[in-house]
Amino acid sequence: MSTRFGAKRRSALGVTVTALVAIVAASAVPGAASAVPDGGHGRSDHWGVITRNTIGSPVAALRDGPFGSFGVPPDMAHPPYGHGSLGIEVADHSTSLTPPSEAVHFGNEVDFYGDPVLQLRQIGFHVFQTGENVGYGGASVNMPNIKFEINPNLGSSPATYSSMVWNPPASPVTNRWSGYLDATTTGTWWLTGNAGPAIHCALADNCDFQTLMSRLDDGGPEPVIYTAGVSKGRDFMWIGAVDGLRINRTVYDFEANGVRAHRVR
């Protein structure tokens, strides 16, 4: 997957007009970010399916749209950024494993490596949820996740690896794009492996974002990020899309031809 833009030489006037059009287009979308790239994350070929965390044959593909469903007002039917999104499809009973469901993880294994977990301030995304997905697994359960693979660096646990996972609340709308779902104020967080039980933020004992951050800040070495991305599974069948992944002051706009990074105003 290529995320390199502007490979062809253009005149100065062409560049100026293109930049102006991009800024106007971004400003026209409610809550849009600036069209000025944020200088690093997302401006490379480092976004894609994280294969070691993917099970079965699910889909996590950059695509145009979705522009629906039918009869939905245009401002809620159009992806929140640009024209595209990250389309996700996972099945529930499709493998010979236990459980038999699929899992997919689309993320960046390079650009966030070594970043401090405790410096995370803003996290969230927009989702295209369908009524069918709600029927498959429930409104507040069957949603995609945001996942950071981290070194928790806990004094109470020797674990050097854990996944820090956000379970979103139910989308407020179906069959159309949601507004921004804020992972720092809604939903729940948990850590996989031994780290979760050590600070009482496991799947069965999850916590909110502020509690998780305070418990990771135990006075020892700071926890650090390995990877960042969006995931789904292993649980229920889900077919939908995600766009506008925000991590601090950067919004990652998923487009059919790559991932674009925008600085939040």
pLDDT tens digits, residue range 69-105?
999 999 889 999 999 999 999 999 999 999 999 999 9
In a domain, 101, yes or no: yes
For residue 15, pLDDT over 80 is answered with no
Establish if 215 belongs to a structural domain. yes
Supply the range of the domain harboring residue 63.
12-263
Separation between Cα atoms, residue 42 and residue 22, nearest integer Å: 17
Which of 6-10, 95-99, 173-177, 244-248 shows the lowest per-residue confidence on average (mean pLDDT)? 6-10
* Mean confidence (pLDDT) of the chain: 87
Q: What is the mean pLDDT of residues 101-130?
A: 98
Question: 2 lies in a domain?
Answer: no
**What are the tens digits of pLDDT across the range 212-236?**
999 999 999 999 999 999 999 999 9
- Please tell me the predicted confidence (pLDDT) of residue 42: 44
How high is the pLDDT of residue 45? Answer: 75
Q: How far apart are CA 109 and CA 121, in angstroms?
A: 20
Peptide bond into 234 cis (omega under 30): yes
**27 pLDDT more than 90:** no
Q: What DSSP string runs through 26-79?
A: HHHSTTPPPSS--SSTTSSS-EEE-GGG-BSS-EEEEEE----STT--HHHHS-
Q: Is residue 6 part of a domain?
A: no
Local confidence band at 44 (pLDDT 50, 70, 90 cut-offs): low
pLDDT at 43: 53
24 in any annotated domain: yes
- Assigned domain for 69 exists: yes
Among 42-51, 60-69, 126-135, the minimum mean pLDDT is found in 42-51
How many independent structural domains does the chain possess?
A: 1
Rounded to an integer, what distance in angstroms lies between the CA atom of residue 119 and that of residue 213? Answer: 9
For the stretch 131-190, pLDDT in tens is 999 999 999 899 999 999 999 999 999 999 999 999 999 999 999 999 999 999 999 999
| Structural domain contains residue 1 | no
Whole-prediction pTM: 0.84
Q: Is the pLDDT of residue 249 over 90?
A: yes
Res 256: pLDDT: 96
Place of tokens 């950059």: 62
